[in-house]
Structure 1
Amino acid sequence: MRVLNYFIFGFLLISSVACGGQKDQVVTIETKYGNIVAILFDDTPVHKSNFLELAESGRFDSTEFHRVIPDFMVQGGDVFTKEGMPSEEWPTLPAEIRTNHFHKKGAIAAARQGNNINPERRSSGSQFYIVLGEIYTELELTADMPKLQSAFMQYVQLGSQEALRNEYSRLYAAQEFDSLTHLLLSKRAEIEESLNLKLTKDLTKEEIQAYTTVGGTPHLDDEYTVFGEVISGIDVAEKIAMEERGPRDKPLNPVYMKVSVEKMSRKKIEKEYGYTYPDGE
């Protein structure tokens, strides 16, 4: 993410979650388009505790969704700019990147600075984003595109592949980049067999199911901490993403938020929102 934004630390674990796991905190983000309701994950405890602390103290209130991109994400919660804190003093959180949490549509993740100045992938101390994303075919999803591109360029140098090389050159000259991508994908299995290479990524059944049905942003996986999930109101986030934008993808008409927290039994959460807690939680 191209953001320079961050988070304050809060290391308290929530006693009601720790005691028997019978209750959880339901987060409601109120906007002019309606409410977004979410739960936060227990196995990202620093991020969960921090977010709840900011919400319960009212510090998120009157912050904006300040960066919105259709079919990608909506980002907000810039507490420290609102409070006038110098950017060099913005707190960060240690990364809590878990392989069981990925960027499917509705995922809530922490913004952060880029790897060039943040190799530890520490999270912003307040800013978060809600994933929208796109639906992928399984072929698109499982292809290791950097490796495939490199192997394709090697493959088309073979004398037997002159026609393929010419087709690639034609599409490139015409800047038909979607067609170029389809061309590469269509040749993946052929190139794998010819060059004896593996050009696929290993994804779980859950990832493939999610990204090929509800969608998401898989290229962000393993790079940002996913610490929550929208359980109601993803359509509200989609409406926010459609706002007319100015520089830096900021809505021309501000979209403010007010964030509240309600303790609720997990059984009630499952019944009211259709959310299923993972086994063992």
Structure 2
Amino acid sequence: MRKILTILCFLFIVLGNCYAQSKHLLFKTDFGDFKVVLYDYTPNHRDLMLRSIRDTVYQGALFNRIIENFVVQGGEHDIDIEKREAADPLHKKPRLAAEFDDRAFHKMGALGAGRDGNPAKASFLNQIYFVVGKKITAAELDSLELKKGIKYTAAQRKEYLARGGQPRLDHDFTVFGEIYEGFDVIMKISRVKTDKQDYPLHKVPFKIVEISK
């Protein structure tokens, strides 16, 4: 009986990370659709994303920076953000404060917020990315811990060693969600042909719809 309860508790923890969260999104692309959960433990990024969708910020959005084995980035491009902010007579650079949580890390399919080199590691308001990382070794994690001055949790290590990701981005960029259905779609997108600046040779549009699950 105790063994059964232990197994049930483990399954609840694993599945709860995705399905116990309250907000879910459907991404529609020419390559297929995929579903994303937004983490309730990164509430400011979750709420910003929901507001952006409702305010049509991502209307006609593109995945405009694609790097195989790294990330698929979409929304407002770094260059466009820089130009827009440079043209602002008040030189405003609105950002959203970072939200780091050990449960939100750069595993495969993680949803993160882009940013510039600001020391606070605050996020851009209209730029997102999905991790389409690579295989990770224990030695690499050990080296990153020393370099970054962090400690990966047992859950993080297990996920990175089993499936890979981009752990070098942890504690530098905010992760606030993940793909829980249709991961193969983002992998297809990650393999499209790009130019030397990582722009896809053909436009890769996407639409986002808030769903119940």
CA displacement at 1:90 relative to structure 2: 5.4
Give 2:52's aligned residue: 54
1:175-194, aligned counterparts within 5 Å? none
CA displacement at 1:82 relative to structure 2: 8.4
Q: Which of 228, 232, 237 is equivalent to 2:186?
A: 237
Give 2:135's aligned residue: 135
Whole-angstrom CA distance in 2 between matches of 1:91 and 1:236: 32
CA displacement at 1:207 relative to structure 2: 1.1
Whole-angstrom CA distance in 1 between matches of 2:160 and 2:144: 15
| The structure with more radius of gyration | 1
TM-score by length of 2: 0.79
1:110 matched to 2:59? The reply is no
CA displacement at 1:235 relative to structure 2: 1.1
CA displacement at 1:203 relative to structure 2: 2.1
Q: CA RMSD in A?
A: 2.7
Indicate conservation of the 8 Å contact 1:69/1:241, yes or no: yes
Indicate conservation of the 8 Å contact 1:103/1:217, yes or no: yes
Indicate conservation of the 8 Å contact 2:64/2:77, yes or no: no
Whole-angstrom CA distance in 1 between matches of 2:60 and 2:29: 10
Whole-angstrom CA distance in 2 between matches of 1:97 and 1:203: 13
Cα distance, 1:51–1:34 mapped onto 2, change above 3 Å? same
CA displacement at 1:48 relative to structure 2: 0.6
* Cα deviation 1:20-67 (Å, max 9, x = unaligned): x98822111111001121011111111111101111232212111000
Instruction: Count the aligned residue pairs.
Output: 188
1:202 matched to 2:151? The reply is yes
Give 1:39's aligned residue: 37
Question: Which of the pair is proportionally richer in strand?
Answer: 2
Whole-angstrom CA distance in 2 between matches of 1:219 and 1:100: 16
Identical pairs, percent? 32
TM-score by length of 1: 0.61
Whole-angstrom CA distance in 2 between matches of 1:137 and 1:29: 31
Partner SS for 1:213: helix
Indicate conservation of the 8 Å contact 1:99/1:222, yes or no: no
Q: Which of 92, 96, 99 is equivalent to 2:99?
A: 96
